[in-house]
């Protein structure tokens, strides 16, 4: 008996779907996304997926994803507007490449989805 093919989303596609849910004015982390997808030790792979997402046709709010300390580790993948400018336009305060009031603006996908 032949098994039917399943078009399960790839890990990257799952990351992108989750990133679409991050509310404006909130941030999350690579690790939080990995945990929400059941791959808690794959935060670097989440980062790699987001690097690949820097394509205009995807229109993902990937500027809302920072490292576990609130640092803008993905800032080098932006030109203009910068990652900081995009976050500040949403009301998130950033000083020296670090999100301020991290706990207040953190969005935990495990609690929200």
> Is 99 within a domain?
yes
> Is 113 within a domain?
no
8-state DSSP, 23: P
> Is 6 within a domain?
no
> Is 4 within a domain?
no
> Is 59 within a domain?
yes
Pick 7 or 84 by higher pLDDT: 84
90 burial (CB, 10 Å; 0-12 / 13-18 / 19+) is: middle
pLDDT at 55: 78
Q: Where are the alpha helices (DSSP H) in the chain?
A: 11-19, 30-36, 43-52, 83-89, 102-105, 109-112
Mean per-residue pLDDT of the chain? 91
Give pLDDT tens digits for 78-97.
Answer: 888 999 999 999 999 999 99
pLDDT at 60: 93
pLDDT at 2: 55
> Is 70 within a domain?
yes
pLDDT band at 24 (very low <50, low <70, confident <90, very high): very high
| Residue 77 CA from chain centroid, whole number | 13
Residues 6 or more apart whose CB falls under 8 angstroms from that of 22 comprise 28, 61, 64, 65, 107, 109
Pick 82 or 56 by higher pLDDT: 82
């Amino acid at each position: 008996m032949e098994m039917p093919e399943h078009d399960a989303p790839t890990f990257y596609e799952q990351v992108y779907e989750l990133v679409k849910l991050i509310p404006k004015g909130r941030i999350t982390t690579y690790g939080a996304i990995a945990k929400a997808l059941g791959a808690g030790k794959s935060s670097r792979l989440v980062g790699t997926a987001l690097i690949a997402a820097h394509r205009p046709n995807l229109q993902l709010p990937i500027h809302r994803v920072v490292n576990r300390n609130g640092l803008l580790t993905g800032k080098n993948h932006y030109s203009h507007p910068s990652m900081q400018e995009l976050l500040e336009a949403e009301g998130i305060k950033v000083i020296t490449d670090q999100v301020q009031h991290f706990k207040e603006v953190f969005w935990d996908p495990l609690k929200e989805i």
